[in-house]
Amino acid sequence: MASWQAATDDAGQPGVGQIVIGDGSEDDFAEIVALDERVTGLSRPEFWHEFRLQKATSNALIVLVARHAGEIVGYATGEVRTWPVRGSACGWVYAIGVAKEHRLKRAGSALMAEMISRFRASGIGTIRTMIDVDDHLLMSFLRSMGMTAGPFVELEMPIA
Ligand SMILES: CC(C)(COP(=O)(O)OP(=O)(O)OC[C@H]1O[C@@H](n2cnc3c(N)ncnc32)[C@H](O)[C@@H]1OP(=O)(O)O)[C@@H](O)C(=O)NCCC(=O)NCCS
């Protein structure tokens, strides 16, 4: 079985072991933002504020959470988008994170599998993401899911 194929828990829900994957709701945002801060070591309230505003007006944004005994221990966000790069619509994975104490138990894989299954249900044939070039942990994880380098490269320059 490919690593991105959906796993289910004993009750047949998306998940793995005692971790259940489902949609994150508006009520979950504070918990997701707090977990994101613990996972990244960064406080990014503007990012989450903008994300929340978009989520309120768009059905396209996907917010998944991984719960263990009711507590949110992982999250993944993504969207089907036709931009910013040329080509047909693809599924963008914006963020994925699992609490340190719950890692290496396939919660991240289960979140990705469910995200991919949502994208495939929308008729999408490709997924994309961007990561820091020296983020070896995320690179190892995404490679384990089967992701490889894509056809685009990000360019930038300071203009201040
Ligand atoms: C990357 C991350 C989501 C993985 O979650 P996880 O639940 O531990 O991952 P899984 O248990 O599903 O691991 C699947 C595979 O990923 C790879 N992997 C995961 N953690 C790894 C590690 N520490 N070192 C090397 N490979 C690793 C392995 O190939 C693993 O398969 P294996 O156990 O058979 O070797 C988690 O480590 C994390 O949240 N890291 C921080 C990410 C981050 O900064 N996110 C915010 C911005 S996007």
Most confident of 5-9, 11-15, 147-151: 147-151
The tokens describing 22, both together, are 């489902």
Provide the angle, in degrees to the nearest 10, between the axes of the packed helices 29-40 and 45-57: 140
d(CA 1, CA 103): 21
- Looking at the CA of residue 36, tell me the nearest atom of ligand 1: 46
**3 falls in which pLDDT band (50, 70, 90)?**
low
Q: Return mean pLDDT, the chain.
A: 92
Strands (E), 11-107: 15-16, 19-23, 62-68, 71-81, 90-98
Structural domains of the chain ordered from first start:
2-144 (3.40.630.30)
With a 6 A CB cut-off, is 104 part of the ligand 1 pocket? yes
User: Hey, which residues does 72 pair with through a beta bridge?
Assistant: 67
- Looking at the CA of residue 142, tell me the nearest atom of ligand 1: 16
pTM confidence score? 0.93
64-76 pLDDT, tens digit per residue, is 999 999 999 999 9
